Amino acid sequence: MIVTFVVILIAVAVIFSVQNASPVALSFLAWHFEASLAIVTMLTLVIGMIIGMAILSLSRLRRSMRKKKELRTEDTGSEMPLK
């Protein structure tokens, strides 16, 4: 099922690229350049995916660290001698 989704996604990307090949002018701060609309859109998509993966990774890292801290707290709490 995942393979089918990837194939469909690639097909859509190719069709999009062919239909949006016209150049567009881009300006960002001091940079000014022209590129294909499809290339600009695909690069934006890739950058967004990278940012999303970075945020997800940080979230998972924090959750993992929180679980380790909770386990350490539970371990030290159960080892206290009874009076």
How do residues 22-74 score in pLDDT, each as one tens digit?
Answer: 999 988 899 898 998 888 888 888 999 999 999 999 999 999 888 888 888 77
CB 33 within 8 Å of CB 26? yes
Q: Which residues pair with 28 in a beta bridge?
A: 31
Instruction: Indicate whether 4 pLDDT > 90.
Output: yes
| Band of pLDDT at residue 17, cut at 50, 70 and 90 | confident
Query: Phi-psi bin for 78: left (phi > 0), alpha (psi -120 to 50), beta?
Result: alpha
d(C-alpha 67, C-alpha 73), whole Å: 10
Question: How much is the pLDDT for 69?
Answer: 83
Q: Report the candidate in 42, 47, 45, 48 with the shortest Cα–Cα distance to residue 21.
A: 42
